Amino acid sequence: MSIYPQVRTSADLLKSTIRMEELIPFLIEQKAEACAIVNTKLYGLLPFYHGLKNAGIHPVIGLTARVQFDHIVLPLLIYAQNNDGYKNLLKISSSIAIRDDELLPIQWLKGYSNGIAVVIPIISDDAKWVEHPSSIELLQKLFKGRIWLGISRLEGEKSPFENEVIHLSEKLQIPIMAIHECLYLNREDAFSYRVARSIEMGVKLSEQVQINENYKRHYTPTKHDWLHWFNDREEWLQESRNMLLSCQVDIAQKGHILPKFPLQQGQSAEQVLRMLALKGLKERLKTNAPNEIYIHRLNHELEIICSMGFADYFLIVADFMNFARGQQILTGPGRGSSAGSLVAYCLYITQVDPIRYGLLFERFLNPERVTMPDIDIDFVDTRRQEVIQYVAKKYGEKHVAQIITFGSLSAKAVARDVARMFNFESDTLEMISRLIPNKLGITLKEAYHTSEPLRRWIEEESIRKRWFETALKLEGLPRNASTHAAGVVLSPVPLVEVVPIEKGHDGIFITQWPMQEVEQVGLLKMDFLGLRNLTMIEQIQKMIYYARNEKIDLNEIPLDDHKTFELLQKGDTAGIFQLESEGMKSALREIVPTQFSDIVAVNALYRPGPMQFIPIYAARKKGVQSVEMPHPDLEPILKETYGIIVYQEQIMQIANILAGFSLGQADLLRRAVSKKKREVLEEQRIAFVNGAIHKGYSKEVAESVYQQIVRFADYGFAKSHAVAYSMISYQMAYLKANYPAEFYAVMMTFATGNQEKLFSLIMEARSKGISILRPSLHQSNRVFSVENGNIRYSLSAIKGVSQTFLQKLISARKEQGNFHDIFDLAVSLSGNYFARKWIEPLIKAGALDDFGKDRATLLATIEAAEKHAKIVRPTEEEDLFTSQTSLFGKPKYMEAAPIPNKMKLEFEKEVIGFYLSEHPVTNIRHKLHVNTNSFLLNGLPQNALVKLVGIVESIRQIRTKKGELMAFVQIQDEYGSVSATLFPKQYNECLGWIKEEVLIYLEGNVEYRYNQPQIKVKMIRNVQ
């Protein structure tokens, strides 16, 4: 007989390496009757339960716990014997997981004992149980008839305590059953299991002392092993079988568990929803008598929502959206198919009028295919948690939880983690990362086959081969748990009745099961998403209000703004949501958008597949190509996209108009056709053609249109989502076109730390006549700010200046106003904070130019100022002599020769990443016919002809094989520097005058070495 009462799976986060996809075939091969999962949390329970059920093996749900008695903590296996026991197991697991020590007090176990069976692993942990018979007696009283003593025999070896246990069993009348803790599948997996445990504990193999060698015997036994190990005690095996088969739990889904919105007595959710929706409609349309189209659509949607039982859900979402508005938390205009709901628009859940944009409710909620509604909401990412906190407070902490997500050991992660356990050097770890190709989702096996250097390196030493074999075995295992970025569940009953929970953050629990499993048991999941672009928009709005005293309501901006469309037509969309890639800029220039619907179309078309229709859309829009309709009756549906099926909603409307499908049936058609199953396609074709013929269309027309639907089904995009997200794109484009300084200032703040992006934004802002003002001790903030239409550089963007220091500096500035000189600054900050490591970068960046001293003098004076601060105000607390500083007198500046321009620029590049001061090249560039600069070179093709101007930074002279002189010259402009190669002929022409600091003009061709552009010089001249 083959039964498995104590299996831990890999879902138990590196405490086991048994994967479900390996366990089930093994159990089938062993003809297993039953198997129990006993992880330390209920991680992986549902995949285990359903996986075994589908394989025809009896699943048993258990838990490994550490029970706290008065003076001792002992291990215990807890099993659900029936559905009541399963519910109690959810509570037990949750109780353990919300405690810091993760122990189960015996009193709690007593409270949750109904429907529970326990097995005492009596000889585990050095047979501690044997020394505490009173604890066994206590459990026996609690679980009479539902308690067993579990004896394990690792590889058949009998424990010296076995006879004592048998005696105890007879004395207490507690039956014995055979158990064996399975921690990995096969005998040869022992080492990789040990490495997995090492990774979890963070202890390298070489640092482990007193290893219990028993770990080598915790493989999963075969049927033969069981019989062999317990050949003299087959009754114990029979007892295990009886015990496992007595555990009968049914986790079948019993419908959705929908939350309830709190209402006053006598009110129903349906009544309140209708009242609020109608009120909202009148407010939206600014009339007390909305037209019949809106009223009809609203009633149609309300009927479906209420009949499907989702009225409470809409009220819940509307309520927390109302809270967000009240707290001035910016929310997105909509996301996904929910933007197709007029009810959502009337409740201010979305900002998109679905009738104006031709959006369909059935794409969101289909009465002919009952699924949970899915309203995903975008919030400013810095304030999303406030809304979650509000929901948790309103519905109670026991009813709201965030959702867990599991991180797994990807190829690079497992390679590094295992290498660390093998005590490989940190340089080797870096090298391993480089040897594995940077490809999304790459596996170690794939990396091994595609990377020859990796293969060679592995084959050189046996330790490396063992490292790789171990990493292969552990790859893909769940490694850690974290909180899902968006998912929140809300339940009408305490969550522990339905899912196990554990400790989360900010007083909000998280589920022990990931999203798919939470939905599997019928709970409603809502997505509270943090969208960075909304945070950018909010910051731009604040900056406009601060700089211009203007409040911008994004829902009221005109959707036909001339400046905005001019910007979009040029593809000037750096920093604009969804429109900033080079491909998207090119598509915009090709389409030349003139109305909002063009932005929606380009957002929907710019994806692999439908991209091919962008030139056709553009040509038809410009009138260069004639618009062809599949049938004249479809013109109202396809007119806005020039006869091209772009949106899923268009497919639904075509089926509705041409074949007489209801919109619900049309949504089923859309879904079915996109799956491309032959029998489904044929079934839908017959229905479509018959419907069209019934409506008076010819079979040929019906077949032709159906084929077009099939062709476009792959490409169709949800118009509701495209409209909602295009709204954000348009809002950002509007802000960029009309408030460029504020737009760029916020973009630069968000780009801080990404030098390339920041530099690109600065160049773009300068090209539009916006000056970038140097950092200033008195004017700059921690963010880029707008000053008289120009942008003041941020203190946070200076390398080497910590945020803690900046906090102190800005708070000192607020307290006392402007500083008189560097000594005043030193005393204000105190000896603790006025330190060279922070002050030097500020001076090099020009922030202390406010004192009217040359940067060389300021650098020379740092030491004197440090000493002065240490005497007068050594720490923030010790304000020894600041009120009597005149007693000491102030030191004087250490005057120094003015800093050379070249060094000044080098210092700026060191601490800012580029040149902020006006570069000598800037003044002369516009007088010469140049066509590029060091920044633009990167985008040019091989051998492109370039003309540029720059300063000679350095010259490296060499001789050719023929003995002729040539040189490599580093040339610098305000954008960076580039290497230019002067061959003997060109070098000979300038040999007499070329030297460092000389301003030169050159022409040549681009060539790439190690992916970096260089210039082969054809002509050079001195423009000093």
Question: Cα 19–24–30 angle (5° rounding)?
Answer: 125
Q: What token pair was written down for 134? A: 């009173």
Q: What is the arithmetic mean of pLDDT over 555-583?
A: 94
- Region(s) of the chain under CATH 2.40.50.140: 920-1022
Q: What token pair was written down for 168? A: 């105890």
Query: What is the structure's pLDDT at 874?
Result: 86
For residue 625, the surrounding DSSP H or E stretch is none
Phi–psi pair at 91, nearest 5 degrees? -70, -40
Q: Which of 405, 399, 401, 393 is nearest to 503 (CA)?
A: 401
Residue 886 predicted with pLDDT over 60:
no
Query: What is the structure's pLDDT at 722?
Result: 95
Residue 301 predicted with pLDDT over 60:
yes
Q: Which residues contact 76 (CB under 8 A, 6 or more apart)?
A: 64, 65, 66, 67, 104, 109, 118, 119, 120, 121, 139
- Per-residue confidence band for 888, with pLDDT thresholds at 50, 70 and 90: low
Per residue in 335-345, pLDDT tens?
A: 999 999 999 99
Question: Cα 500–502–508 angle (5° rounding)?
Answer: 115
DSSP 212-230: -GGGGG-BPPPHHHHHHHT
- Per-residue confidence band for 905, with pLDDT thresholds at 50, 70 and 90: confident
Question: Cα 955–959–961 angle (5° rounding)?
Answer: 150
- Region(s) of the chain under CATH 3.20.20.140: 3-185+220-245
Per residue in 974-1011, pLDDT tens?
A: 877 899 999 999 999 999 999 988 999 999 999 988 77
Q: What is the arithmetic mean of pLDDT over 272-295?
A: 95
**C-alpha to C-alpha distance for 157 and 230, rounded to whole angstroms:** 10
How many Cβ atoms are within 10 Å of 125's Cβ, its own excluded? Answer: 12
How many Cβ atoms are within 10 Å of 727's Cβ, its own excluded? Answer: 25
Q: How many CA atoms lie within 13 A of 293 on its CB side?
A: 6
User: 3-state SS string over 373-410?
Assistant: CCCEEEEECCCHHHHHHHHHHHHCCCCEEEEEEEEECC
- 47-56, 220-229, 607-616: the lowest-pLDDT one: 607-616
Burial degree of 398 (CB within 10 A; 0-12, 13-18, 19+): middle
Query: What is the structure's pLDDT at 924?
Result: 84
**C-alpha to C-alpha distance for 561 and 973, rounded to whole angstroms:** 38
- Per-residue confidence band for 749, with pLDDT thresholds at 50, 70 and 90: very high
For residue 841, the surrounding DSSP H or E stretch is helix 836-845
Alpha helices in 752-795 (DSSP H): 755-767
Q: What token pair was written down for 568? A: 């979009």
**C-alpha to C-alpha distance for 18 and 8, rounded to whole angstroms:** 7
Query: What is the structure's pLDDT at 338?
Result: 93
Amino acid identity of residue 321, one-letter, is M
Q: What is the arithmetic mean of pLDDT over 428-437?
A: 88
Query: What is the structure's pLDDT at 880?
Result: 52
The CATH number of the domain covering residues in 3-185+220-245 = 3.20.20.140
Per residue in 731-741, pLDDT tens?
A: 999 999 999 99
Per residue in 920-954, pLDDT tens?
A: 888 788 788 898 888 788 778 999 999 999 999 89
| 532, 533, 534, 537: CA torsion to nearest 10 | 130
- SS3 of residue 528 by DSSP: strand
Q: What is the arithmetic mean of pLDDT over 964-970?
A: 95
Amino acid identity of residue 528, one-letter, is F
**C-alpha to C-alpha distance for 970 and 577, rounded to whole angstroms:** 38
Q: What is the arithmetic mean of pLDDT over 757-761?
A: 89
Q: What is the arithmetic mean of pLDDT over 295-322?
A: 95
Residue 884 predicted with pLDDT over 60:
no
- Per-residue confidence band for 879, with pLDDT thresholds at 50, 70 and 90: low
Find where tokens 């893909």 sit.
476
- Per-residue confidence band for 624, with pLDDT thresholds at 50, 70 and 90: very high
Answer yes or no: are the C-beta atoms of 717 and 336 closer than 8 Å: no
Q: Which residues contact 675 (CB under 8 A, 6 or more apart)?
A: none
Higher per-residue confidence, 853 vs 205: 853
Answer yes or no: are the C-beta atoms of 524 and 258 closer than 8 Å: yes
**C-alpha to C-alpha distance for 387 and 384, rounded to whole angstroms:** 6
- 28-42, 206-220, 550-564, 956-970: the lowest-pLDDT one: 206-220
Right CATH for 920-1022 from 2.40.50.140, 2.40.40.20, 3.10.20.740, 3.40.640.10: 2.40.50.140
Residue 468 predicted with pLDDT over 90:
yes
Q: What is the arithmetic mean of pLDDT over 174-183?
A: 96
Q: What is the chain's mean pLDDT, rounded? A: 91
Residue 206 predicted with pLDDT over 90:
no
Phi-psi region of 389 (alpha: psi -120 to 50; beta: other; left: phi over 0): alpha
Query: What is the structure's pLDDT at 679?
Result: 78
Residue 1024 predicted with pLDDT over 80:
no
Q: Which residues contact 189 (CB under 8 A, 6 or more apart)?
A: 17, 219, 473
Query: What is the structure's pLDDT at 760?
Result: 85
Q: Which residues contact 878 (CB under 8 A, 6 or more apart)?
A: 830
Residue 756 predicted with pLDDT over 70:
yes
Residue 414 predicted with pLDDT over 80:
yes
Tell me the β-bridge partners of 972. 951, 977
Q: What token pair was written down for 224? A: 């033969």
Q: What is the arithmetic mean of pLDDT over 421-425?
A: 90
Query: What is the structure's pLDDT at 282?
Result: 96
- Per-residue confidence band for 684, with pLDDT thresholds at 50, 70 and 90: confident
